[in-house]
Structure 1
Amino acid sequence: MAGISDEDIQKVRDANDVVAVIGERVPVKQKGRDFWCCCPLHQEKTPSFKIDPSTQLWHCFGCGEGGDVFSFIMKTEDMTFPEAVRRLAERAHIDIVEAGGRGSVPASRKARLKDICARTAEFYHTQLMRGRGAEADAARSYLASRGFGGKVPGKWCLGFAPGRGALVRHLSSLGFKADEMVAANVALDGRGALRDRFYNRVMFPIFDVSGDCIAFGGRVIGTGEPKYLNSQETPLFHKSQVLYGLDHAKAAMAATGVAIVVEGYTDVIALHEAGIENAVATLGTALTMRHIRVLSRHASKRIVYLFDGDAAGQRAADRALAFIDKSMTPEAGRSQVDLVAVTLPDNLDPAEFVQARGSDALRELVDDAKPLLEYGIDRRLASHNLDSAEGRARALDDCLAVLAPIKESILAKDYAVRLAGRLRLRENDVLEALAAKEPPRFQGRDDEEAAAAPPPRAKRALSRAERNRLRFEREFLSLAAQHPLVALAHADTLAQIQWHEEVHRLLADSILATLAENPAAAGVDIVTRATLVTPHAPRVLTGGLQREGAEPEAVGAYLAEELALGDAEEAIGTLTAQLAGGVAPEEAELLHAAIATLQMDVASRRVAHRAVQHS
């Protein structure tokens, strides 16, 4: 794949045993040669999650998900395939080299970029604490006015960026090269002259969860635009995943089970200094589902979204409703996200609120935060005139849009019943309106996730015969993926079958392509490569039924013949329909002969096939 070589992917997979990786998340127990556990992706009391150490594949017979070790990380931590590879590379202390993508660098060079960021943070902090001149004095005055004096600058490594090339000269004296400074986004290369990216700003270093400096945010001193300037995306820094203050907050999150999300650097610092140490902030972006997944690893009970009372805060509150999805329903089981929300009164931000009313008052607000669904419905109802029939109709449509992404859940239906009472409408009418309401296409996803998501598919009613056909296709593909010798023996069938699902055709092509490139490829290699073709690959290719004592080769031969017979019967149907549509006498004679020959062939093969089935 682009970015990470196949060799590095193999190296990472070999170093991360799937049983060990899953065992770090949930208790696993060996039964025979396989391992079993309760699925971490949905709620269950009886283990239905099987891990096969010989193939390094897993499958949950409860929810239908499955895959390899990369798929497990992708699904449990809401990551892309490259992100999962990187995460497991870090787990195994493997240095991978990325190439072919914008801004991609060898993992070993990332340590160099982190060193640049660390030295930059030290330089800025020194300038704040010891720098001379009116601009440095203004930076210190600003922080003092926010109550950030004493030990606060040292604890948060706050700094001052003087600009005028001071940072570039300092880093150059330490032996860092121009391209490294640009890659770390602390310097800009304009017309051949390297210059500092940040100029005359109070600096807030941004640390990852491990405490390594990876980026910066700077607030202008006095007037100027932009008021806040953040680092751009770099090999170290991806703003849709990073939260300011998480390195400080993770311990308190683990202890309380609660995470508080605010909007600014100073809000985080003010809350921590007031004793509320489980607060973090997004970095110039709305809260994303990736942020939520990151927080869920540290806060086991709930995530509180704390909105400013001003207009900007209310716009952020409306955007937050986009994160309502099935992960917030009881049906999500162990992966359920308890996301609640509260708006601060009197147009205050968190820093102003704790300064004016104290930390206990803020804790009371947080404790009384409403579930995001209730919060969103209350906000929508408040924006309509409920005294008129027209206003109630508009309010109903507006509120059902909040519930639409989870309309099949018991939770949504419960809220719909409550909504009927508040709008003085019949419960059945509201429930019917909810069932008919279509959710936004990419509900709760950021732009990157939306671009990668497949378009929604229309549901279609399937006959019993069609359901059986699709089941046979899935079983054959699963068997071929997990037992490559079966795939090689039936390569012609894989290539010639008239697949009834487009995703099945994609998977067959992927299996053949992998084996054509490497006939000795293992099953886990086939699944990994297929995952890059379609996100549906893991659940299909690991979901085959288990036949106790059956030889894979025999099962493969049976399934291949079943599918081939199905295709032959469809061909007879096509020819019969063509004949019934009216053709010339000469052509009709040929069609009759062809149909008769095919019917005789299929009949004899069916007899032999049934004999194999019952043997």
Structure 2
Amino acid sequence: MRYSEELIEEVRSRNDIVDVISGYVKLKKSGSNYFGLCPFHNEKSGSFSVSPSKQMYYCFGCGAGGNVITFIMEYENYTFMEAVRMLAERAGIELPQMEETPEERKSRDIRSQLLEINKLAAVYYFHQLRGQNGSTAMNYLKKRELGDETIQRFGLGYSSMYSDDLYRYIKSKGYKDDILKESGLFTYGDGKVTDKFWNRVMFPIMDMNNRVIGFGGRVMGDGKPKYLNSPETKLFDKSRNLYGLNIARTSRKPNIIICEGYMDVISLHQAGFNQAVASLGTALTSGQASLMKRYTDQVLITYDSDGAGVKAALRAIPILKEAGLTTKVINMKPYKDPDEFIKGLGAEAFQERIDKAQNSFMYEISAMEQNYDLTDPDSKTRFFNEVAGRIVGFEEELERNNYIEAVADKYMVSMDALKAMVGNYGNRVGIVKDRHDSRRTSSSHKEKEDGISQAQKILLTWLVQDMSLYPKVAAYLSPDDFIEEPFHDVAVRLYEQLDNGQINPAAIISTFDDGETQKKVASIFNRELAEELSDSERERALNQTVKKIKKNSLDIKSRSVTDVAQLQNIIKEQKEIQNIQIHL
């Protein structure tokens, strides 16, 4: 469920956008607005604008925009409801309890108790590490060159030698076995209960809100397995979480570094690479790739440099690509993993490896090369045939040509010969031509759609900038003539506000939950219409825009109407479109 629009508007209006954003971005007043460096992309000149009058922000560089709720969603990577709750707490507004079904309430109660139990366990492990019994574990961490601040930041702990220490402690807090069985922290069997983790350095695993949802443990001594993770619980789904993402999501780095182990992540963070994360004892999953896509467009793979690490990287690359992520691979040699590399060569050398990270396709080709003898003509031909087959997989002709050029340059072969091989392969499997024709048709259709979208967006901007136009435009267009979303919803709310003689852009944005939609709506209210046009040119552009929107609306309505009288009325309106005349 969602809170009422009135309550959301109260939360928004009680949080002045300049005050809130000033806590994250250094702002400087210029005219009626405030400007600063955009926190959502790297820039040297301040194109990030905050408007006190509109209670909105907008970046003229990257297009990020919205109201105070949108900003918290974007910066903190919160959901809409999480952002509303945070701002309500900031403003001292008590939100009502949301209505829940009995099943929802029961599930929430179980989750709440499990979160409390995990928090107790994390605190218990934390103090055990710093006690006399934790000296061996602390010495281990110190030998791994971790500083006190790093140990503190990641909440590292220790599970004692006694196999039921944690169980007795949690039981003393009044928790019953029914809920403790759900936590994954204990093993039940043969009439006894033992701790899942004992004699291990403990790594709490956090969710996006820094709540402990599970644990990883590294054994002290020769016990097996060396690393042990929490089992799946109502809180912990390995395939949909990443170790360290609670910190990496706000790193403001242009990429995320994916590692194999906890210590790799911690070492990289300590060295200043706080965008590092790790999968949780499993191969990378599509769920984890999608999770990273929420926070970045580029992933750098830094798996172990051994055979197993190479195989893991080759499995991960197509998963990341499927999620829409650009992928590169960092070369760790002569070291096995990031932890060893940082200790051996330091942060500056690691940054150099990041800067020289290999394109994932070229990495795949290099790995594939190991299966062929390039000194043998037959084997070499088969190698390039396989390469050609992979290049055909790129949909864009320019992208295919770029990879043909890169491969030809690396292996010192004729670019024309390789291009011909790719073309022959594509013709055999019927991919290149079909893709081209298909994309040309869809491109034409998209251009038409974009033209209508642009017209609706421009007209809404016009109404926002010049309220005097509203009665003239409303004589010909109603909100229902704005066919596409979110333009229709914006038109409905904007017309209501214009009827009342006052525009509140920030309130309109609050009615949308989705961040991308909010960004699109914000651009309507921050768009600048061409000032260099003469009055007659502006008038002609306005009339053309209104006619285009009306024609599109009537065309769409005519396709679904079945009543003869309604159809006749639509035909009549279509004939009258050319008579539309608005004077500025």
Q: 1:45 to 1:319 in 2, by over 3 A?
A: same
1:388 counterpart = 2:385: no
Paired amino acid for 2:204: I
1:342 counterpart = 2:323: no
Report the counterpart of residue 344 of structure 2 in structure 1. 359
1:525 pairs, out of 507, 524, 527, with: 507
2:133 pairs, out of 116, 130, 150, with: 130
2 CA distance for matches of 1:149 and 1:598? 77
Any residues of structure 2 matched to 1:8-157 within 5 Å, and which? 9-10=8-9, 13-14=12-13, 16-23=15-22, 27-37=26-36, 39-41=38-40, 49-75=48-74, 80-82=79-81, 84-85=83-84, 116-122=120-126, 124-125=128-129, 129-130=132-133, 157=156
Q: Secondary structure at the match of 1:307?
A: coil
Select between 279-288 and 592-601 the one with higher mean Cα deviation: 592-601
Any residues of structure 2 matched to 1:135-214 within 5 Å, and which? 157-160=156-159, 165-173=164-172, 175=173, 177-178=175-176, 185=183, 187=185, 198-200=196-198, 202-206=200-204
TM-score (norm: length of structure 1): 0.60
Q: Secondary structure at the match of 1:418?
A: helix
1 CA distance for matches of 2:463 and 2:421? 44
Q: Secondary structure at the match of 2:443?
A: coil
1 CA distance for matches of 2:467 and 2:238? 38
How far 1:558 moved relative to its partner?
A: 7.8
Contact 1:59 1:65 in 2 (8 A): yes
- Aligned residues between the structures: 530
Q: Secondary structure at the match of 1:309?
A: coil
Q: 1:477 to 1:426 in 2, by over 3 A?
A: same
Select between 457-466 and 45-54 the one with higher mean Cα deviation: 457-466
2 CA distance for matches of 1:428 and 1:16? 64
Any residues of structure 2 matched to 1:187-586 within 5 Å, and which? 187=185, 198-200=196-198, 202-206=200-204, 215-219=214-218, 227-230=227-230, 243-244=243-244, 262-267=259-264, 282-284=278-280, 286=284, 288=289, 305-321=301-317, 323=320, 341-344=330-333, 348-349=336-337, 353=340, 359-360=344-345, 367-368=352-353, 371-374=356-359, 376-384=361-369, 385=372, 388-398=380-390, 417-423=405-411, 424-426=413-415, 459-461=442-444, 469-477=452-460, 494=478, 496-497=480-481, 499=483, 501=484, 504-505=487-488, 511=493, 522-532=504-514, 535-540=516-521, 542-544=523-525, 545-546=527-528, 562=547, 565-566=550-551, 570=555
2 CA distance for matches of 1:130 and 1:46? 54
Residues 570-608 of structure 1, C-alpha deviations (whole Å, 9 max, x = no match)? 499989xx9xxxxxxxx9xx99997995576445x42xx
Q: Secondary structure at the match of 1:130?
A: helix
Q: 1:57 to 1:142 in 2, by over 3 A?
A: closer
2 CA distance for matches of 1:519 and 1:541? 20
How far 1:364 moved relative to its partner?
A: 5.1
Paired amino acid for 2:365: R
Q: 1:536 to 1:244 in 2, by over 3 A?
A: closer
1 CA distance for matches of 2:85 and 2:233? 17
Paired amino acid for 2:202: F
Contact 1:261 1:305 in 2 (8 A): yes
Paired amino acid for 1:307: Y
Report the counterpart of residue 584 of structure 1 in structure 2. none
Q: Secondary structure at the match of 1:205?
A: strand
Residues 543-591 of structure 1, C-alpha deviations (whole Å, 9 max, x = no match)? 25446999xxx9xx9899646742587499989xx9xxxxxxxx9xx99
Paired amino acid for 2:481: I
How far 1:383 moved relative to its partner?
A: 0.5
1 CA distance for matches of 2:574 and 2:380? 69
Q: Secondary structure at the match of 1:116?
A: helix
Residues 325-381 of structure 1, C-alpha deviations (whole Å, 9 max, x = no match)? 99999xxxxxxxx966124458x4566x57xx9623897576445644435513423
Q: Secondary structure at the match of 1:317?
A: helix
Q: 1:44 to 1:570 in 2, by over 3 A?
A: farther
Q: 1:320 to 1:149 in 2, by over 3 A?
A: closer
Q: 1:23 to 1:475 in 2, by over 3 A?
A: farther
Contact 1:38 1:48 in 2 (8 A): yes
Q: Secondary structure at the match of 2:444?
A: coil
Q: CA RMSD in A?
A: 6.6
Q: 1:116 to 1:523 in 2, by over 3 A?
A: same
Paired amino acid for 2:456: E
Paired amino acid for 1:528: S
How far 1:317 moved relative to its partner?
A: 2.0
2 CA distance for matches of 1:560 and 1:19? 35
1 CA distance for matches of 2:467 and 2:233? 41
How far 1:96 moved relative to its partner?
A: 6.8
How far 1:269 moved relative to its partner?
A: 6.8
Q: Secondary structure at the match of 2:524?
A: coil
Q: Secondary structure at the match of 2:506?
A: helix
How far 1:204 moved relative to its partner?
A: 1.0
1 CA distance for matches of 2:571 and 2:272? 80
Contact 1:78 1:290 in 2 (8 A): no
Q: 1:522 to 1:177 in 2, by over 3 A?
A: farther
Contact 2:302 2:337 in 1 (8 A): no
Q: 1:538 to 1:370 in 2, by over 3 A?
A: closer
Q: 1:120 to 1:30 in 2, by over 3 A?
A: same
Contact 1:340 1:370 in 2 (8 A): no
2 CA distance for matches of 1:114 and 1:380? 45
Residues 251-290 of structure 1, C-alpha deviations (whole Å, 9 max, x = no match)? xx99x99997642235567889xx9675865250647575
How far 1:308 moved relative to its partner?
A: 1.3
Q: 1:571 to 1:160 in 2, by over 3 A?
A: closer
Q: Secondary structure at the match of 2:305?
A: coil
Q: 1:13 to 1:558 in 2, by over 3 A?
A: farther
Q: 1:303 to 1:24 in 2, by over 3 A?
A: farther
Contact 2:73 2:83 in 1 (8 A): yes
Paired amino acid for 1:198: K
How far 1:475 moved relative to its partner?
A: 3.4
How far 1:202 moved relative to its partner?
A: 1.4
Paired amino acid for 1:265: Y
How far 1:228 moved relative to its partner?
A: 1.6
How far 1:67 moved relative to its partner?
A: 2.3
1 CA distance for matches of 2:59 and 2:244? 36
Q: Secondary structure at the match of 1:54?
A: coil
Percent of pairs identical after alignment?
20
Q: 1:503 to 1:219 in 2, by over 3 A?
A: same
The runs of 5 or more residues in structure 2 that have no matched partner are: 427-438
Q: Secondary structure at the match of 2:516?
A: coil
